[in-house]
Structure 1
Amino acid sequence: MTPLRGRVVVVTGASGGVGRAVVRELGSRGARVALIARGTTGLGAAAVDVGVEGGSAQVFEADVADYDQVRRAGERIEAEMGPISVWINTAFSSVFAKFTDISPDEYVRTTEVTYLGYVWGTKVALDLMGPRNAGAIVQAGSALSQRGIPLQSAYCGAKHAIKGFTESVRTELLADGSGIHITLVQLPALNTPQFDWVLSKLRRHPQPVPPIYQPEVAARAIVYAAEHPERKEYWVGASTAATLLAQRVAPALVDRYVARTGIRSQQTDERPPTGISNLWRPADEARDYGAHGAFNHRSHAHSPQVWLSQHRGPLLLALAGAAAAALATLRRPKR
């Protein structure tokens, strides 16, 4: 039996993209899923998806940038569905543009949704889980929390903030000897509706930087993290691992490389921007976008790095054991 069967799991940003893929995965595990987002059509379709996969779902409309709305949603979930076992934060919005082209209001709004949305979700989750001293919080992070790139300063800043915030909260929980765990899943470029509905001021249609992965790859990693929240961090995708390594080894070279390639690699010549924006209002109020974006033909359905991240402890022990055995063989006196 899956550890999440029958458990109440909250997902913010549940109506589309990674959040939509996550709720489907949770449905297949038999979870009882509380869906938080703004778009009514997307939320309704997501609830149907959960049921089709074998779980059950309820919809709770809320703007994660508004603490009071998140608080009310959390209290309603516990009153109507029962104690929350897992809270998963995936909601975000952003602006594709050079920093100098983003207005102060747009920057504030992006930060409120993409960073403070995680802060408010985490705070509500801890307040509700605290009396039981049990539960897990999973943050959907990004490789861009390690390496900022052009045209995404607002998003990169928020993801850097989420990493620092999560590390601080984790150490506080450890200091208190808490039974509540918080973990971070660092995601790569994904084929989600983000590139169709995030505000863009570019002349060409935005695209993820290859290699691109399907949102189900992220969903499987996030749900695994929800079942094994004791780990500090999980990495998804070759690009994420490469980013982490390159940034630590040669940050100055990475700066030059990203400056030379980053702007062009995030735009496609295939079509102009859609003109749709979910920054101030939901894009899926009247239309369901689902989990996938427009790049299915270029996206990977699997990631070896997910397995490596999940089995890093046993793998390192096995390698250490093999090394010790080899060393003992070398040191064994010859007869």
Structure 2
Amino acid sequence: MDQGRVVVVTGASGGIGRAAARAFGERGDRVALIARGDNGLKAAAAEVERAGGQALPLPVDVADHQALDAAADQVEQAFGPIDVWVNDAFTSVFARFTDIEPEEFRRVTAVTYLGYVNGTRTALKRMLPRDRGAIVQVGSALAYRGIPLQSAYCGAKHAIQGFTESVRCELLHDKSNVRITMVQMPGVNTPQFDWVLSRLPRRAQPVPPIYQPEIPAKAIVHAAAHPGRREYWVGGSTVGTLVANSIAAGLLDRYLARTGFESQQAEQPRDPDQPVNLWAPADDTTGTDFGAHGRFDRAAKTRSPQLWASLHHGVLGAAAAAAAAAGLAALTRKR
């Protein structure tokens, strides 16, 4: 992808979206940053510009399709035609399904799934008439494998996977030069674990191994430049190494039933007053810019062999098969 293209990143105020926006800025791109919170957006815009890009912060709730469409108009008025659209915005609830209220589940779905639908529709409305453009969906290993305590998020990620596959087939049928791809994430060191609504007794944490957000950001930038690939994988995990092996599904259900509650909680008790971003942006509520990194810097990895294999397509199949076999063997030993 040539430098200086027009890129839209949703969920750009924190975490992976924040790191991706900065990575696009390092390429000299013109980056529109979409999120709800002003504090995070302003800080993200400053990072993009320090990195060498141009920034346009736009406070928008991706669940509002009309507002998102109007924001896209602003982007094209300021920067020109949109070349790349990255869907990353999400929210979630850490809790048993029976402890999530119906309106909370609906809100997670509206942001985390329908926000991607809205973003994709908004991008295609502009890209299809020009017959060019790339859409990057920030997915998850949880698009393939649900885990306990994240039913709303897992449901949304599964939905994004099916939705994206459907749209991709339609674009291929029409011989469109617009491309859509997914980047599947492992556990990442982002602030979400301290601002997502939680009803867990202890502080939420990602399932190890944990990766720094700059690694997914690199994958997103690469995917935007090479969107013809169906998907990219950022890192391995107990979940990620087994999704390719469907015969392990029953074993994995039982394994996650035993381990999934503990592995997603730290030792410290949850702060009952921690910010919640389900209904309002946490950075505006607290007056804090949360940035790209969470509180797991000491544990987070700065390299991902699986991402390397994914970017080097020729070795991906062998690497994925070996990882799946190793994961299945390890799981069988733990039964």
Same fold (TM over 0.5): yes
Aligned to 1:72: 70
8 Å CA contact 1:143, 1:243 repeated in 2? no
Between the aligned partners of 2:211 and 2:140, the Cα distance in structure 1 is 13
The reply on whether 1:297 has 2:298 as its aligned counterpart is: yes
Between the aligned partners of 2:31 and 2:40, the Cα distance in structure 1 is 15
8 Å CA contact 1:200, 1:275 repeated in 2? no
Aligned to 1:332: none
* C-alpha distance 184-284 of structure 1, shift in aligned 2 (>3 A): same
Q: Deviations over 1:257-284 (max 9, x none)?
A: 0000001111111242352110000011
8 Å CA contact 2:116, 2:160 repeated in 1? yes
Residues 1-335 of structure 1: matches in 2 within 5 Å? 3-239=1-237, 241-246=240-245, 248-273=246-271, 275-285=274-284, 286-313=287-314
Aligned residues: 314
8 Å CA contact 2:41, 2:57 repeated in 1? yes
Aligned to 1:333: none
Between the aligned partners of 1:190 and 1:315, the Cα distance in structure 2 is 21
The Cα shift of 1:249 comes to: 3.1
Q: Deviations over 1:113-160 (max 9, x none)?
A: 000000000000000111110000000000001110010000000000
- Find the structure with the greater CA-based Rg: 1
Between the aligned partners of 1:85 and 1:198, the Cα distance in structure 2 is 31
Between the aligned partners of 2:135 and 2:304, the Cα distance in structure 1 is 23
**Quick one: which amino acid aligns to residue 252 of structure 1?**
G
Between the aligned partners of 2:315 and 2:260, the Cα distance in structure 1 is 36
SS at match of 2:134: strand
Gapped regions of structure 2 (runs ≥ 5)? 319-335
Gapped regions of structure 1 (runs ≥ 5)? 318-335
RMSD: 1.3
* C-alpha distance 272-62 of structure 1, shift in aligned 2 (>3 A): same
The Cα shift of 1:22 comes to: 0.2
Between the aligned partners of 2:143 and 2:183, the Cα distance in structure 1 is 11
**Quick one: which amino acid aligns to residue 182 of structure 2?**
L
8 Å CA contact 1:191, 1:212 repeated in 2? yes
Q: Deviations over 1:156-206 (max 9, x none)?
A: 000000000000000000000001000000000001001010000111100
**Quick one: which amino acid aligns to residue 138 of structure 1?**
V
TM-score calculated relative to the size of structure 1: 0.91
